[in-house]
Amino acid sequence: MDDIVARLHEAGSGSGLVGLGICDAEPFAEVRTEMDRRAAGGWSGLLRFTYADPQTATDISRSFLWAARLVVGAVTYLPVAGNPGPARENHGRVARFATSDHYEPLRRGLRSVRGVLQSAGYRAEVLMDDSRLVDRAAAVRAGIAWWGKSTMALSPRYGPWTLLGSVATEAELPTTLPMQRDCGTCVACIPACPTGALDQEGTLDATRCISYWAQMPGFIPRSIREAWGDRLYGCDACLDACPPGQRWLGLATGEAGRVDLVELLELTDDELRERFSHFYIPRNDPAHLRRNALVALGTCGSSEIVPIVAGYLRAGPAMLRSHAAWALGRIGGSAAVEALASAVREEADAAVRSELDGALASVHEGGN
């Protein structure tokens, strides 16, 4: 077995994995309890993924009866994912994990690990961002990370800047020891969260998390929009604040992840799907990307783009009409007021009318 372990490390590091550990495949009982607690508290919101079936997500034997071990791998997406650079008018920002398909190197690394196991005659299956496994729990048990208060799995060298996955196998490999480390007295991520979604016990209230709303269908609550900033997809605020990740983050100097939102609003559905094919887009409906762009323009939009945003007051689903109204209320100016006032006279949907009224009131209060 030691020989296979050496080959696993060789294959993993040779294909870009920066961490590799092995743990048993016993059910993650405490994680199951934690998921149930979050669901009961309403903190998992309408999350599907692992929350669709927590029992399966925390017990790998329900998917692979033969699984005896999980070989857990990590990649880092820095420094390649770079920095969004200074805020720019009419430009949104993509969180670093999604500036391109950073899961691809992880997929490659895990497949080469699987290859070693299969060529030694063992069954092996790759699980990566899969509903059948809580990746961070496996990483913590396999000793390649510790569980941070931001809920991120942290590693000493890369902090929170990793993506995680596993290979389930029947090979009874020797396991690695969990890491003897924790966040200590640090609480930096908690005040750094723009929406107060984190607490000192390491609970994330997903219903207050910007990253959650960027991937959810429907209307984004106004309180979340207020804190949204110029984000288009994902949020890195609790990762940016994390001291163990600072040194590694400091090496990411290239600019990446800025998106021209006006250009985005002019793309067709097919063009949006193609350009952002590595994003999780709810119901595969690109209207959700336009919605996110409108919310970001509420923070970074200039008065010149009012006609483009105003175009959304009349066309498209109520979700877009509402978010366009909100954005115009924030951008302000006489052209925005005119567009809002004219739309409110014609709007038939009561919820959208209320957004239009709210936007007009906020323009007047703000003295724009």
Residues that bind ligand SF4 (CB under 6 A): 148-150, 152, 154, 183, 186-189, 193-195, 197-198, 204, 209-211, 235, 237-238, 241-244
Nearest approach in angstroms of CB 236 to ligand SF4 is 7
Nearest approach in angstroms of CB 112 to ligand B12 is 17
User: Considering CB distances under 5 to 8 angstroms, the limit depending on partner class, which of ligand B12, ligand SF4, none binds residue 297?
Assistant: none
Stretch that binds ligand B12, among 14-22, 222-230, 234-242, 249-257 (CB under 6 A): 234-242
Q: How many residues of this chain interact with ligand B12, rule: CB under 6 A? A: 40
264 to 66, 132, 151: CA distances (angstroms): 47, 34, 32
d(CA 129, CA 152): 14
Among 166, 72, 171, CA closest to 120: 171
Nearest approach in angstroms of CB 191 to ligand B12 is 14
User: Which one among 18, 22, 25, 31 touches ligand B12, defined by CB under 6 A?
Assistant: 31
Burial track 122-158 (b if 16+ CB lie within 10 A, e otherwise): bebbbbbebbbbbbbbbbbbbbbbbbbbbbbbbbeeb
Q: How many CA atoms lie less than 13 Å away from 21 in the CB half-sphere?
A: 23
Q: Which residue number has the CB closest to ligand SF4? A: 148
| Order of all β-strands in the sheet with 258-260 | 231-233, 91-94, 258-260
Structure token digits, residue 236: 């890195």
User: Considering CB distances under 5 to 8 angstroms, the limit depending on partner class, which of ligand SF4, ligand B12, none binds residue 147?
Assistant: ligand B12
Which of 206, 294 has the CB closer to ligand B12? 206
Nearest approach in angstroms of CB 8 to ligand B12 is 19
Longest CA span, the chain: 75
Which of 21, 160 has the CB closer to ligand B12? 160
Stretch that binds ligand B12, among 14-22, 170-178, 235-243, 261-269 (CB under 6 A): 235-243
Residue 134 binds ligand B12, judged by CB under 6 A: yes
Q: Alpha-carbon Rg of the chain, whole angstroms?
A: 23
Q: How many CA atoms lie less than 13 Å away from 185 in the CB half-sphere?
A: 0
User: Which one among 11, 17, 23, 35 touches ligand B12, defined by CB under 6 A?
Assistant: 35
Tell me if 310 sits within 8 A of 335, measured CB to CB: yes
d(CA 215, CA 218): 10
Residues in touch with ligand B12 (CB under 6 A): 30-31, 34-35, 47, 49-50, 95, 97, 128-130, 133-137, 140, 147, 150-153, 160, 162-165, 202, 204, 206, 209, 211-212, 215, 234-236, 238-239
